[in-house]
Each structure stands twice: as C-alpha cells, then as structure tokens.
Structure 1
Amino acid sequence: MKLLDLSWRNVRRNFRIYSIYLISMIIGVVIQFTFSSLIFNEDVLAALENEENFQVGLIAASIVVFLFIIFFILYANTFFMNQRKKEFGMYLLYGMSERQIALMVFVETFILSSISLVIGILTGGLLSKFSGMLLMNLMQYDEVISFTFPLEAIGATIVLFIILTGIISIQSYFSVRRIQLVELFHSGTNLEKLQPASKLLALLSILLLGMAFFLISRDGTSIVWEDYRLASIIVMAIGLVGGTYLFFRQFSGWLLEIVSRGRKYNEGNRVLWTSSLRFSIRGNALNLTSISLFSAAIIILVGFVAINYAVQLDGSTKNFPNDIAFESQDEHIQHQIETLIHESNHPVITHETIEGILVNPVTNRDVAFEQSDYLTEDILLFSETQFNDIVALRGDDQEVNLHGQEAIVLSKIDTPKQFTQDDQSEFTVKVGDESTFHLIERKDYALLGPASNLSNTNVFLHLAIFIISDEAYATIQNSQNTQMYELYQIENAKDASALSAQIQAIVSQSPDIYYSAFADGYAIQAESSALLLFTAAFLAVIAVFALGSIIYFKQLREATDEQKQYAILRKIGVSNTEMKKVIRKKLLFVFLPPLILGMLHSLFIMNYSIFEEVRDFPQLTSIMWAILIIYFVIYFLFYVSSTNLYYKIVNQQK
C-alpha cells in the first residue's frame, strides 16, 4: 500500500514529466483503437463489396500499426526513465532495492496505462467515426457511419496494451539495473566534447549526395543502369545513407565553425545558439540521418499510393468505357433489361449496338499479347468503321486507318507497341477458313470492358480484340460466329451496383454470355486503392509522430541538461525574449535540415523513377504538393511544441 501511495504521489508531484509520457500512451491507444474499430464497424462492412479482403488487409496493417506504437512508446519511456535518474538514485540511497524501484515503476506504468486506455478508447471511438467517413469518402460511397465502440476492438486494444505494459516494465527494470548509483547522481552533467569538423569529410558528404542524385536522375535505359545496375544501386544507397550521415555529422559542424569565425559572430544572440549546437550536433547526427531517410520513405510511400488511388479511379473509366455492356439477348430478355434500366434511377444517355466475329487463334496468342492468361481464349474481330464510330461517340482521338490484312490489337493490360519488320507480326486465325493478319500496333484502349461474369476469381477477364480493315471484315462477315453487343451509357454509373447485379442475374441465365459494368469494376478498384491509401496514410501519420518524437524527446532531454547554463544567462541579464529567440534558432537548425533533405531525397526518387509512367497525369503535381505541405505542417507543429516546452524547462528555477 505504501508503494502504491508513493507511486501515486510521484505521478502528482512530477505531473509535467508524467504528462508527456501519458500523452504518448494516449496517442498510442487512440491510434490502435481507431484502427481496430474500423475492422469491426458494421456500417463500414455493410457498405463494402469485398468485406473479407477488407478485414484481412486491415488486420495485417494493424500488426504494423502496433509495432510502430511499441517503438513510439518505448522511446518515450526511455526519455521518461532518463529524466528520473536522480530520483532513482535517492531511492537507492534510502535503502530501496532495484526490485522495489522496478515494482514502483510497474505500478506507475499500470496507473498511466489505465488512464490512457480510458481516455484513448473514448477519444478513439469519436475518431473512428471520422476515420470511417474518410474511408467511405475515399471509396466514393455515401454511407452514414455511426459512433461505435465495438467490443472486439476494445478487447483487442486492452490485450495489446497489457502486453505493452509488460514490455515497458521489463525495459524499465533493466534500465534501473544497468545504471550505477554514482551515475544516477551525475545524470545530465556529462557534456559532449567539442571536436572540430573535418572539411574533407564535409565536402565528401556533398559529393556522395550529388553522386546519388546523379544516378537517380539517369534514365533506366541509360548505359549506367543497363551495364552496371547492381553497382549503381550500391553506389546510390551508399551516397544517400553515407552522404546524409556525413552531412549532419561533418558538414553541419563545418558550417557552424564558419559561422563562429565570422566577423559578426559576437553580435546579437548568434554566439549563444551556435555554441550550443556545436556541442550537440555530432550526437544528433544518427537521429537526424534516420529522420531524413525515413521521411523520404514516408513521402514516397504516401505519394505512390495517392497517385495510384487517383490513377485507379481515373483508369476505371478507361478500363470500363461502357457503363453497361453485354452480349445481345433475345427480344424478350432484351426488353426485360431495358425495362429495368428505364425504371431505375439511371436514365440511358446513349445506346449502341456493335457487331463482332468470334474466331479461334491459330498463332500463339503471346505474339499479340503480353499477358494472355488474363484474356479470353478466342479473339473478337471488329471492323475499323465500327471502332471509329464508337471512338468518335466517346470523343477520343483514337481513330484508325487500316488497309488489306492490317490489324490493330486492343489491350489495357499490355504495354502499347508499334510492331516492326523485326517482330513476328503475322497472326493467323480460323473462322471456317484460315485468315492471316499483319499486326501493325498494340493500342492501350478498351472497346469493351473486362467481363465480370466469365471468371471465378476477383480478377476480371479481358476480351482479346483485333480491329481489322473493313475490306478484311467483309470477307468473313457472313460467318456463323457473328455476335452482337449492346453498349449503354447511363447517368450516375458509379452508383449503379444494384442495377448491375439485377441485369447480370438476367444475362447470366445463359452460360458464358459476356457482361461488363462500370459500377462493378469501379467498386473493386475504388475499395482496394482507397484501403491502400487509407492504410498508408495512417501508417505515415504514426511514423511521422514516431520520428518527430525522436527529435522532440532528444531536445527535451538537452533542455533539462542545460537548465544551469540558461540560469546563468538569466543572471547576467539575458531577457526571456532573447532566450526564446536563441531556442527557436537552435531548434530550427535541428528540425529544418532533416526535413529538407528528406523532401529532396523523395522528390528525386519519385520524379525520376516512380512517376515516369504517369508523368502526364494531370493531378500529379497537386497531389505531391499536398503531401509535402501536410508533412511540413506536422513537423512545424512539432517544432513549435518543442520550442515552447524547451523554454518552460530551461526557465524553471532550480
């Protein structure tokens, strides 16, 4: 009972230090519960087309979330333990054993964990509604998400934080055992020795970074990458990692030395913040390097999935150009389908009927297609006139002009290609007699969208289509394999999942009948890409807080160690306003360089490698600017919070 009393008094007496630790734990609970509650939110699950895939994806991501939370809270606990070294020294001096101190820390951790669980779950329940609404918005759904506290999510959060409490207690116990009594009383008195920076290594850091940026900017088909790919990757990695580390450990120190030798060094407060930085910059080099590299990785990850999300939604229109398309039925079924459409909330905009000829390939399909496994076995032939009419109706600039036995391949899943004399571009099909076509081009264009009812998997089966000249089409037009296709454009097509299901049920009564709907493809692509974006953004926020806390807690520890120095400055007449300026300039030098380097790394890699294939995408620039601005704002808030708390710590009377 006395131990519990002592633990509770410690929490109340040192509330400032405990509050920082408590806030870290509350943030961990909020993140974990918010993410877990989405897995079991009935409103979210009811709106999804692929509920099982959604849950599996979020469960896998929740494991990564928990690992980030462990890192975040254990780092906060390390700071927390270091701040209490002298306190533990007093307990040891008064006769308490290391085991009793560890038990006291366990009780304190249990109290803080209990408080954080209650506050975090309540806050997480509120945020889960916002997160659910955000996810539904990304998926383009209009579902209403209610406030929920799923028992499964509460149970999972409690279990995980019981495990985390145990890990923290073990870490705290070993932290106490590793420190000698003498060290506890001298905690924070050891200052880093001032060592001159190497001009040679400082210049080497710029050389390494420049070399890495040069290799990144080279095209993948350049001789550097084609002939020396492995060596280029190794050199680029060494340049980025080694150059960044030397930049903070040597170049920054060299820059500060130049400033200290300047004529105006003794003017204003420059001498105060530069001298403090010169003592601490080398010790911060590894942390700042990690922050720069992980910042680049976070920006690249979020940038990639954000662009993928926008491209997928935009690509749905191109992959599924017809809102509803199916193989023509008899008059009774056709009338039944048209009645369904007219009675729905999706009026018909246009309705076209096109004719194609189904043929068997004699030549291996790999000659025309790269991914033939995702295509129908037979090939559909359409005339150039029909194709040009549909293209003109859509307003696309894709008309073709063919002669004789020339043919164009249509494929949305293969790389566009111009067939040359060096290619094996002759392709033979059989429809009664054999006909050989000369392939001249493979277009990235969809006349008919993927079939949603011809595959037993979630992967849509694409139609293998050739566009041939009117002359060639006329010679085989009387074939028994002629098929008609009905193409509809309707209003609010993305919300027509219910209508699509009704029509598909009618069409599928006949086996192997082609059916495709924009709503089906849009729902799957929107859900998968939105879930990927939401998860990546969630993980990025956690990672940013974890990385920001590295600087945050490091600076707070330095603030505690520098209380005596700032007390001396106060006694010799330095005003509070001047001390605030010194702190702001010092922390700006710590926060800004890793942020700038991280952004530079990410922009180079994305601009020259990842976004090469989507460079013409109209939203590319705006998406990247939005990500960079959000990232900057988060770190700016860390900077402001750090400067305010730093000042409060050094301004305390000892």
Structure 2
Amino acid sequence: MITKLALNGLKRKQRDYIILFTGLIISIAVFYMFLTMSLNKEFITQNSVINNIQSVFLVGTVMLSVITFFYLFYTNSFLLSLRKKEFGLYELIGAKKFQIRRVFQIETMAITAISLVIGLTLGILLSLLVSWLLMNGLNVEFTQFKIIYLPAVFWTMIYFLLVSFITSSVHNMRLAKSSIIDLLRSEVQNDIVPEKPKSAVLQIFLGVLLLGIGYFALYFMEQLRFIGLFTAPVATTLGTYLLFVALLPVIVRKWKRNKTVNFKGINSFTSGQLSFRLSNLKWVLATIAMLIALSAGAIAGGFAFKNNAFTSIDEYWQYDTTLYNPGAAETELLNSIPLEEQLTFRFKLDDETMYFVREELVATPPLVKDWVTYDVMRPGSLPENLEIEDGYQIVPDTWMSALETVNPALFGTRNSHIVPLIEYERAGGEEISVMLARTNDFAAHMEKWQELARLQESTYTALFAGFDPETDSVATKYAQFETQYAIASGTFFMGFFLGLAFLTMMASILMFKILSGANNDIRRYDSLRKLGVRRRLLENSIHREILIVFLFPGVLGLLHVLVGMRMFSFIMDDPYYRLWVSLLIFLAIYGGYYFFTVHLYRKIVLPRQ
C-alpha cells in the first residue's frame, strides 16, 4: 500500500519532478565523467599527459559533490512542501507518521534511481565526447580508456543514493515534528510584505558597503592575496543577500506607487503578484545570483586558463624548438617551417663543467627575457676576462639567461664556463651541438613541433644517462607546452561542465519555485478573464512578471563575474579572454529556461478554452 501511494504521488507530480531533477541528471552525468577521467588507473598510467589532468578532475568532482549536496537538500525541501497537505490528509484518515515518512522516502529514492539511470547514460556520452576532444586538442592517442568504467559507475551511484537518503531523512525528521493542522494548512499561508520596514535603509547601506568591499578585494586580489581570498567571497555573499532582502521589496514598492506606470494596463496586477510572493523569492533569488556567478565564472575561467597555456609559454621560451645534435630528419622537418631566426651553438661536456665558445655566443647572441623589466632582448656586452671564484665563473645575469636558453636540458647540472675558441678546443669531454629556431607564430606549427620533440627522444636517450622517454620529457618549448596545455584543457572542461551543472541546477530551482505556486494563481487569472481582460494582456503580464524574477539575479550574477574575473589577473595574462562566449552560453541556457517557464506557467494559469 505504501509503495502504491508513493508511485501515485510520482505520477501526479511528474511534471514538477522532471523540472526539478533536470539539474540532478546533469550533475550525475558530469560527476561520472569526472570520475572516469580521474580514477581510471590503466588509462592514467598508460598516458603520461593525463597524469597532469587527473588532479584537475578530482578537484572538479569535490566541488560538484558539495554543490550537489546542497542542491538535493534544497530540492527535497521543495518536494516536501508540495506534499504536505496530501500527507496531512493521509494522517487525517488514519495513516501513521512512520508510514507517511516511508512514502516520502520511497518517492525520493525512486526519483534518484531514475535520475541515475538517465544521468549515467548521459555521462557515458559525455566521457566519450570529452576524451575525443582531449585527444584532438593534445594530438595524442589515448590507450586503455574505458568509456564505461565500473568503479566510476559504482561510486557515482553510492554517492547520489547516500546523499539522497541523508537529505530525505533530514526532511522526514521535520515532517515528523509537523502537526496535522500545520500540514493541512501548508498551502494557505500568505507571504506578508511589511509596508514600512524599519531597517530597510540600514540593510541596503550594509549590502552596498559589503558588496563594495567584496568587489575591492576581487579587483586588488594580487595585492591583498590571502586577505582578499577570505574577504572577497564572504563580503560579496553577505552583500548579495542583504541587497535582495532589503532592496528588492523597495524597488517593487516604488513601482507600485508610480501611478504613471502602475495604472497602465494591468501593471498593478503584475506588481501585486510580485509583492505577494516577495518574501519567498528574495532568498531564492540571492542564491540564484551567487550560483550564476559560480557557473558563468567557471566557464569563463576555463576559457581563460586554456588561452593562458599559449600566452605563458611564449613568455618563458623565446625559441620554439631546441634541438641537440640534430640529424637529417630533424633538419629536413625544420626546413619545412618558415623560420624567423635559426642559431647553432656548440658546447663540451665533462664530469664537472660545460664549456661554451665565446666567439659563437658574441657573434649571434640568443634572445633572453629580462625578468626585471619583462623585455625580450639580446644580452649586453660580454666582458673580456671573466673572473673565476671558487671554481665558478662570474657571468653577467643576462648571459646566464642566454646559457640557459642555449642549453635548457643540462643548465644547472654542471658549472658553466664561457671560454675562447682556443681554450675550448683544448678542453676535454664530448662535444654537443644545439640548434635554436623560432617562428612568428608558435601555435601555427604544433604538429611539426610535436614531431621534432618525438625525434629528439632518441637523441636524449643516447646523450643523457637515465633519460626514459616513457616518463621523462625533452627540454623543448613544445614539451612544456604539452604539459601546460593538458592541465589547461582539463581545467577548461572542468570549468565548462561545472558551469553547465550549476546553471541547470539553479535554473531548475528558479523555474520550479515559480511554477510551484502557479496552481494558486489560477483563480486570480480566471477572475481577470471573467472581468473582460484580454488574454493578450494577461500573457504580457506573465512575461513581465517572470522576466523581472529572472532579471534581478541574472544582472547581479553577471556583475559578480565581470568584477570577479579580475582576481585571476596575477596568474593569467588575459582573464577576460572570450568572456563573451561564456556570457552567450549563460544567456542561451538562462534564456531558454525563462521562455520554457513562461510557456509552462501560461499553460497552467491560462488554459485554452
């Protein structure tokens, strides 16, 4: 009997459940995809590039699990509010409290189970898509990657079923404490908006002040560092909630008092509708604003991190490739690339010292970066007689940078001496030649840089003892770029899919919050229709009312993003890179939920005759 009641409840409320658990399905899919990319041991050990991405996806899993916990807690609270009156009727006809709690528990677990089936299916498809995009972006072939990874399936099911059980149990405890009168009267409680809130001005002032402090900390994060990391989220969050609690009622009240606007058409009805639900909406809207900032910021941060892999590598490497003892294959491949500059140097290597030819370095000095002024330049004049102190040659800083540019693989492993050609020829040790080359666009020749790095692996194995191509990488610009780009790509996908999950969660909450009160509005719209108000006017009123509800958190959330991205300026060259793409993605999803909400709300309150 209890199971039958639970199934009947699912059928009657299936529209509400589908809306509310859209975010849960997306969350399950992304959660599974993150676990597949981070827990697949054979895949990680067989693909060295993925070692750098594993931690990124693990961080994404933790962040998503925390947000999902609060999302499920919130949604179960909504589900309970929908069924309170019905549960009160069950108790009125003789059902026991434990039986009612069991009905709610079965409903919640059944919804989670259905969401898991759909979400895991979608997650498998996402894993396939992301792995394909990573392989194409990194230009590598993944081995041992399993799209259907059973440990990831297991832990995804365990986590979501456990969280669903915990959250539903907490709400069941609240249900047990509710009297039968409270349950039966749950739908007739009115939202009261005070006419003259005494503390509104103070709350608005504090909200603006805290928001200003939060924005200040975000903008000057590089200078504030740890203080800013603590101050920014706390002040911004408190300021957001205070503004929605205090300022939103004032705006609607001012609108109602504006006779020019309020007495036009049925605007008075629209403002009355907003005022009626204001005390419930303001907390939800503040939460939505923060989720918008997190979601859009995560997507924007992903784009910026990916772009930073290209810009940062150009700052540290002035030459696009460094070839040790280049053979015929390397030379032929290099000749197929339009080069801006090509330099060749020699050095000898013994057990303690590396010897460089002074005449070669002075004749064609390589480009170096001045880490004080950040200018790219040639090293200055090299003194004729370089002093030696305790066996170490005293070389100017710019020339030390030049030696590191010439010999990045071994610089720092031995003492470096710049000597005349005559002395160099007398020195013992193995002679190694190094070729440096650069173009005007490193990113335009990725496949060739990659092939040159692969060709150099055999040279490194022959020259440098202990070098293992399976675990070690050659000292080239492309090798370091590959590592940075792998991390950046992982961060990009983590940010994109976290943002997608956050967006669907918050939009489904807002959509459900609006539609959950639609049944109570049917009689109001029916009364207006009977009074002769045209259907077109009622539809326009619905559009305006829901637009205002969506607009307030959307505007403030995007403002948080525009200011908040500044906090990454000290770790990224361009934190606002392709921000417009992130904003378009947000507007597409958010706008889609708005129009779908309007459509469903209109079908409920304005049924076709």
Calculate the TM-score normalised by the size of structure 1. 0.74
Structure 2 counterpart of 1:628, which letter?
Answer: L
Indicate the residue corresponding to 1:418 in structure 2.
Answer: none
**Cα displacement (A) at 1:194:** 2.1
Say whether the 8 Å CA contact 1:357–1:479 is kept in structure 2.
no
1:400 paired with 2:378, answer: yes
Q: 1:70 to 1:156 in 2, by over 3 A?
A: same
Indicate the residue corresponding to 1:505 in structure 2.
Answer: 461
Between the aligned partners of 2:287 and 2:403, the Cα distance in structure 1 is 44
Indicate the residue corresponding to 2:263 in structure 1.
Answer: 266
Q: 1:340 to 1:204 in 2, by over 3 A?
A: same
Say whether the 8 Å CA contact 1:302–1:533 is kept in structure 2.
yes
1:80 paired with 2:79, answer: yes
Indicate the residue corresponding to 2:546 in structure 1.
Answer: 587
Higher RCO (CA 8 Å, separation ≥ 6 residues): 2
Between the aligned partners of 2:96 and 2:273, the Cα distance in structure 1 is 38
Indicate the residue corresponding to 1:486 in structure 2.
Answer: 434
Q: 1:346 to 1:293 in 2, by over 3 A?
A: farther
Say whether the 8 Å CA contact 1:384–1:401 is kept in structure 2.
no
**Cα displacement (A) at 1:163:** 1.8
Say whether the 8 Å CA contact 1:324–1:516 is kept in structure 2.
no
Structure 2 counterpart of 1:287, which letter?
Answer: V
Deviations 1:357-405 (A, max 9, x none): 9999xxxxxxxxxxxxxxx9989897763554668xxxx9944373464
Between the aligned partners of 2:529 and 2:483, the Cα distance in structure 1 is 64
**Cα displacement (A) at 1:626:** 1.5
Indicate the residue corresponding to 2:594 in structure 1.
Answer: 639
Q: Counterpart of 2:475 in 1: which secondary structure?
A: strand
| Map 1:609-624 → 2, pairs under 5 A | 609-611=567-569, 617=574, 621-624=576-579
Say whether the 8 Å CA contact 1:135–1:530 is kept in structure 2.
yes
Q: 1:486 to 1:278 in 2, by over 3 A?
A: same
Aligned length: 586
* One of 531, 535, 546 as aligned partner of 2:505: 546
Q: Counterpart of 2:186 in 1: which secondary structure?
A: coil
Between the aligned partners of 1:504 and 1:168, the Cα distance in structure 2 is 57
Deviations 1:394-442 (A, max 9, x none): xx994437346499xxxxxxxxxxxxxxxxxxx965497x765565899
* One of 236, 250, 275 as aligned partner of 1:254: 250
Indicate the residue corresponding to 1:125 in structure 2.
Answer: 124
The percentage of counterpart residues that share the same residue type is 20
Indicate the residue corresponding to 2:440 in structure 1.
Answer: none
**Cα displacement (A) at 1:235:** 8.0
Indicate the residue corresponding to 2:605 in structure 1.
Answer: 650
Indicate the residue corresponding to 1:313 in structure 2.
Answer: 310
Say whether the 8 Å CA contact 2:367–2:378 is kept in structure 1.
no
Q: Counterpart of 1:554 in 2: which secondary structure?
A: helix
Between the aligned partners of 2:140 and 2:467, the Cα distance in structure 1 is 32
Between the aligned partners of 2:460 and 2:588, the Cα distance in structure 1 is 48
More helix as a share of residues: 2
Indicate the residue corresponding to 2:91 in structure 1.
Answer: 92
Say whether the 8 Å CA contact 1:189–1:561 is kept in structure 2.
no
Q: 1:465 to 1:262 in 2, by over 3 A?
A: farther
Q: Counterpart of 1:354 in 2: which secondary structure?
A: strand
Structure 2 counterpart of 1:200, which letter?
Answer: V
* One of 581, 584, 592 as aligned partner of 1:629: 584
Indicate the residue corresponding to 1:338 in structure 2.
Answer: 327
Between the aligned partners of 1:73 and 1:381, the Cα distance in structure 2 is 68
**Cα displacement (A) at 1:88:** 0.7
Say whether the 8 Å CA contact 2:343–2:435 is kept in structure 1.
yes
Q: 1:356 to 1:302 in 2, by over 3 A?
A: farther
| Map 1:463-612 → 2, pairs under 5 A | 480=427, 484-487=432-435, 489=437, 492-496=448-452, 498-509=454-465, 516-607=475-566, 609-611=567-569
Deviations 1:332-379 (A, max 9, x none): xx5xx615546989967776421469999xxxxxxxxxxxxxxx9989
Indicate the residue corresponding to 1:192 in structure 2.
Answer: 191
**Cα displacement (A) at 1:91:** 0.7
**Cα displacement (A) at 1:271:** 0.9
Structure 1 counterpart of 2:595, which letter?
Answer: V
Say whether the 8 Å CA contact 1:248–1:282 is kept in structure 2.
no
Q: 1:304 to 1:108 in 2, by over 3 A?
A: closer
**Cα displacement (A) at 1:536:** 2.5
| Map 1:183-222 → 2, pairs under 5 A | 183-196=182-195, 200-201=201-202, 204=205, 207-208=208-209, 211-212=212-213, 215=216
Deviations 1:483-533 (A, max 9, x none): 754125596113555434333222224899996233422221121221122
Structure 2 counterpart of 1:402, which letter?
Answer: G
Q: Counterpart of 1:284 in 2: which secondary structure?
A: helix
Indicate the residue corresponding to 1:291 in structure 2.
Answer: 288
Say whether the 8 Å CA contact 1:303–1:623 is kept in structure 2.
yes
Worse-matched range after superposition: 342-351 or 29-38? 342-351
Between the aligned partners of 1:6 and 1:45, the Cα distance in structure 2 is 48
More strand as a share of residues: 1
Q: 1:446 to 1:579 in 2, by over 3 A?
A: farther
**Cα displacement (A) at 1:583:** 2.2
**Cα displacement (A) at 1:205:** 5.7
Between the aligned partners of 1:508 and 1:613, the Cα distance in structure 2 is 34
Q: Counterpart of 1:486 in 2: which secondary structure?
A: strand
Q: 1:315 to 1:55 in 2, by over 3 A?
A: closer
Q: Counterpart of 2:405 in 1: which secondary structure?
A: coil
Indicate the residue corresponding to 1:414 in structure 2.
Answer: none
Q: Counterpart of 2:265 in 1: which secondary structure?
A: coil
Indicate the residue corresponding to 1:371 in structure 2.
Answer: none
Q: Counterpart of 2:481 in 1: which secondary structure?
A: helix
Indicate the residue corresponding to 1:161 in structure 2.
Answer: 160
CA RMSD of aligned residues (A): 4.6
Between the aligned partners of 2:415 and 2:377, the Cα distance in structure 1 is 16
Say whether the 8 Å CA contact 1:319–1:446 is kept in structure 2.
no
Indicate the residue corresponding to 1:325 in structure 2.
Answer: 322
**Cα displacement (A) at 1:217:** 8.6
